[in-house]
Amino acid sequence: MAKEKLSPIAKNIRYYRKKLGISQDRLSKLADVSHNTIVKIESGENPNPTIETLSKIAEALSVSIDDLIRTKNK
């Protein structure tokens, strides 16, 4: 999927993960979700993860769920 077509959730998770300098695998362990889940969300294959998954990822990244779902102005 082209980068421009990714959901705000995919873009934001990737942004915050890279800002922390951690891999998808590391994030999956910190968030207690499968590595495949992180890959699918970031690639756009899963554009609408569950609120439970978003909550775990947000906590692992030390951000709010709102930070993950909000469309950022460029």
CATH number for the domain harbouring residue 30: 1.10.260.40
Residue 37 lies in a domain: yes
Name the residue type at position 34. Answer: S
* Res 1 pLDDT > 60: no
pTM score: 0.90
Domain that holds residue 50: 21-68
pLDDT at position 33: 98
Domain count across the chain: 1
Closest CA relative to residue 15, chosen from 2, 31, 27: 27
Residue 39 lies in a domain: yes
Write the pLDDT tens digit of every residue in 15-58.
999 999 999 999 999 999 999 999 999 999 999 999 999 999 99
Q: By the 8 A CB rule, do 57 and 35 touch?
A: no
Residue 5 lies in a domain: no
